[in-house]
Amino acid sequence: MGRDREWEILSDFLRPRPVDRPGTAIAAVTGRRRAGKTYLLQEFVQQAGGLYYEARQEDGLLEAQGRLRAAIAEYEPGRAAEIGTMPLGQSDTWDRLLELAMDLTFARRTDDMVPPVVIDEFPYLLRETPVLQSILHQLYDSRMLRPTPTRGIKFGYFDRAIHGKLLLCGSAMSIMHELGHGSRPLFGRLAWTMTVKPFDHVDMARFWRIENHEVALLLHAVIGGAPGYLDLTEERTGLRPPRTLAELDAWIVQTMFTSESGLFTETEIWHLLREDPRAGDKAIYQQAMEQIADGATTAAQVGGRLGKPKEELEPIIDRLVAMGYVEERQEFFPNSKYVLRLRDPVVRFHYAVVEPAMRMLGGGELDAPEVWKRLAGAFRSQVLGPAFEEVVDVTAMRLLRNRGIKVGDYGWTVVHDPDVRKNCEVDLVGIEEFRLARHKDAPVVVIGEVKATQRKRGRQDLERLRRIRDLLARQRPAADARLALFSMYGFSDALVEEAERAPDEVLLFDLDDVFAWGQMPRGQMSGGQMSRLSRASGSTSSSSS
């Protein structure tokens, strides 16, 4: 489910190289913990007839080499006795093991496919053997060898050309993305680096089999789309996935506020940081994320709150960004403005809700359901609001183009209102297709607001967008921009009527629209559109996506 594109990329990678250009092809796969990488790779390797090996964080050099040797022997049982005699811990053990693994998989090639060698959690091996990247460098470069019977050639670790397909995988995203950087041995030698992302809100709802869109989005805001959390939470609590809002409240209380077996979010954050071997002092990373959760938006602000210089915090924040737990939100129109924000849903929920909940529960005066009820405001502003903005960011392109807006790039920006001496943050501003934000003559085709508050959006929200359009038109071609409102909880009757009177100016998108984006053909109305049209016309019929 939701992995067709990744499967296609992996399958294309296994195509045989041209006869006149043999050698080893290397690619990298990464992604957040519990995103489903291992499951995807194991299924893929099984169908492709490849060799799979997963490194373990606790293994030393001999254990890691011994387990790879055992995996190779299991792959080729007819030679198990011979393989079992290969010495471990010697200077050439890694290159001989890799050479044998590549030879055995390449021997099973067909006209259409070369079975891969997959090394999962590759960064764990680098801790004991940093030179492994250089060994792979030479494995790749062995394609240039053309030895003759009369003249032996030794090229680095290998004395002949090695053929096959090698996939390096790992959850330490910062390390995996750096494998192909200019200063690294594998620079210029990786075919690609693919990130396996958590499911979006639509696939997550399908995976958890949740039909209620509000429940699905609220749960997505709490734990995101990592599919591994389904089994983990069921094993932890015995609860089935929530189907109603009442079930969701009970699920959150029992899953997130139970500390007897270790807080779910606190334990998960520790595991997430543990994935990157270079994140030595976990405390400073947690402190930095805590300050960002409390409103610090720059490295200088984080450092100031922690009593540390900006220069000391910048590499910490850079690594958190590379790991995917913090994001630098760059303003759409080119300038130097960016703001830090927690990106990972579990991390965001922990600092906004779980930490204060534990302090409140520690007093013993309130029970968990009451604490969760009292923290509803913090949840909606600090967790649900950003989560809904991210969901709209994923869906906006398709939704807007389905309504006839030829939008290209889009993002958020700030517009200054001199009349009230105030900056207005704009959730979404999009320019004409095939243009770039740095082009000041690029027409602005849409200006939008994204709201997850329980209040229905009304005409005052539309007037705010009209004011922003007027202000933006003083700087760029924006006078004809369409105005879009994305609301999790719908719109007032007055705003619906206005949108029907001015369809060429006003666009309304509700939760049904946002969940229909994945399967709605161009030009087809979603359930949200149809229900609003029905209300406007006085019809009693309804439709849902």
Q: What is the rounded CA–CA span in Å between residue 42 and residue 21?
A: 29
How confident is the model over 363-399, as pLDDT tens digits? Answer: 778 899 999 999 999 999 999 999 999 999 999 999 9
Q: Are 46 and 130 found together in one domain?
A: yes
Does 152 have pLDDT greater than 90? no
Whether residue 73 lies inside any domain: the answer is yes
Q: List the one residue out of 421, 416, 412 whose CA is nearest residue 385.
A: 412
What confidence tier does 524 reach under pLDDT thresholds 50, 70, 90?
very low
Q: How far is CA 61 from CA 68, 72, 386, 420, in A?
A: 11, 17, 43, 65
Of 520, 443, 447, residue with least CA distance to 477: 443
What CATH number should be reported for the domain holding residue 129? 3.40.50.300
Question: How far apart are alpha carbons 132 and 51 in whole angstroms?
Answer: 19
In a domain, 543, yes or no: no
Residues 214 and 189 both lie in one domain: no
At residue 338, the pLDDT reads: 85
176 in the same domain as 35: yes
Long-range contact set of residues 34-38: C-beta below 8 Å, sequence gap at least 24? 34/226, 34/227, 34/228, 34/229, 34/232, 35/196, 35/197, 35/198, 35/226, 35/227, 35/228, 36/3, 36/196, 36/226, 36/227, 36/228, 37/120, 37/169, 37/171, 37/196, 38/120, 38/169
Q: Could you give the CA distance from residue 537 to residue 466 in angstroms, rounded to a whole number?
A: 26
Look at the block and give the residue holding tokens 């009757």: 493
Same domain flag for 241 and 340: yes
| Total tally of structural domains belonging to the chain | 3
Q: Where are the alpha helices (DSSP H) in 350-407?
A: 355-362, 368-374, 376-379, 385-402
Q: At what angle do helices 299-306 and 282-293 cross, to 10 degrees?
A: 110
194 in Cβ contact with 44 (< 8 Å): no
Kindly state whether residues 362 and 287 are assigned to the same domain.
Answer: yes
Structural domain for 464, as ranges: 390-537
Split at pLDDT 50, 70, 90, the class of 473 is very high
Would 545 be classed as within a structural domain?
no
Assess if residue 146 is contained within a domain. yes
Chain centroid to Cα 523, Å, comes to 29
What are the tokens at 26?
């290397």
Average pLDDT across the chain, whole number: 88
CATH number at residue 480: 3.40.1350.10
Closest CA to 403 of 360, 463, 448: 448
Judgement on whether residues 161 and 267 belong to the same structural domain of the protein:
no
- 364 in the same domain as 257: yes
| pLDDT over threshold 80, residue 531 | no
273 and 285 in contact (C-beta within 8 Å)?
Answer: yes
CA distance linking residue 293 with residue 351, whole number of Å: 6
Contact 442, 476 (CB under 8 A): yes
Instruction: Specify the CATH number for the domain of residue 334.
Output: 1.10.10.10
Amino acid at 468: I
Higher pLDDT, 429 or 545: 429
Asked if residue 20 and residue 90 are part of one domain, the reply reads yes
Using the 3D structure, point to which of 348, 365, 383 is the last residue of a domain. 383
Q: Which residue has the higher pLDDT, 224 or 148?
A: 224
* CA distances for 346 relative to 68, 167, 352, 376, angstroms: 34, 29, 10, 16
Q: Answer yes or no: is 440 within a domain.
A: yes
Asked if residue 542 is part of any domain, the answer here is no
- pLDDT at site 540: 32
Q: Give 525's contacts (C-beta < 8 A, 6+ positions apart).
A: 533
| Residue where a domain terminates, one of 140, 170, 195 | 195
Q: For residues 183 and 79, state if they share a domain.
A: yes
How far, in Å, CA of 174 to CA of 164, rounded?
26
Model confidence at 335: pLDDT above 50: yes
Does the residue 544 lie in any domain?
no
The candidate with the shortest Cα–Cα distance to 113, out of 49, 27, 53, 39, is 49
Three-state DSSP state, 31: coil
Kindly state whether residue 328 falls inside one of the protein's structural domains. yes
Regarding whether 364 and 500 lie in a shared domain, the answer is: no
Q: How does residue 144 score in pLDDT terms, banded at 50, 70 and 90?
A: confident
Instruction: Give 165-202 pLDDT, tens digit per residue.
Output: 999 999 999 899 999 888 899 999 999 999 999 999 99
Q: Which of 321, 355, 383 is the last residue of a domain?
A: 383
Tell me the CA distances in angstroms from 185 to 126, 129, 163, 165, 202, one per residue in order.
13, 14, 19, 18, 39
Are 71 and 217 contained in the same domain? no
Please list, in sequence order, all residues whose beta carbon lies within 8 angstroms of the beta carbon of residue 207, skipping any fewer than 6 positions away: 1, 2, 199, 227, 230
| Percentage above 70 pLDDT, the chain | 91
Residue 530: per-residue pLDDT: 36
Same domain, yes or no: 445 and 397: yes
Determine the average pLDDT of the residues in 501-514: 96
pLDDT in tens, 271-327: 888 887 777 788 899 999 999 999 999 999 999 999 999 999 999 999 999 888 999
40-94 pLDDT per residue, tens: 999 999 999 999 999 998 899 999 999 999 999 999 999 999 899 999 998 889 9
Q: Is the pLDDT of residue 518 over 90?
A: no
Name the band, by pLDDT with cuts 50, 70 and 90, for residue 150: very low
